[in-house]
Amino acid sequence: MNIDSIKNGIVIDHITAGRGMEIYRLLHLDELDCPVALIKNVQSRKMGKKDIIKVDADLHFDMTILGYVDPDVTVNVIRDGNLVEKKRIELPTRLVDVIRCKNPRCITTTEQELPHIFKLTNPEQRVYRCLYCETKAE
């Protein structure tokens, strides 16, 4: 398989195999009007298998989404065909409008304008809870 290199854009690398599509969906990459490549199950010496996303456009997005889905990813910034920056992602302590509360009695169900805010309550197990009702995120 041959995937062209990009001139200006980003490469999201070291995605746990099978998680690339979730990142693609949460970042709304299907709405972009530029070349986007999602490569699944790429052989990796370090990880065994991994997913990679390449976006051939100067794109700014919420890094907390990446940290929530897979905090071990790296984001490579490419300019003029060269790697200019490599960003490491961390597990975010707060998520705002990334996921929605599933509790039907949560205030976010009736108050539509309220943001869906989740806080990290257990970093080891990556548990997030709704700020308003304490429901565990799924």
pLDDT in tens, 78-99: 999 899 999 989 899 999 999 9
Residue 61: predicted pLDDT: 82
What residues does 88 pair with on adjacent strands? Answer: 74
In order of their start, the domains of the chain are 9-88 (3.30.70.140), 94-130 (no CATH)
Extended strands (E) in 6-102 = 9-16, 36-44, 48-55, 74-79, 82-88, 94-96
Nearest to 88 by CA among 61, 63, 56: 63
Q: Is the pTM of this model over 0.95?
A: no
What residues does 136 pair with on adjacent strands? Answer: 129
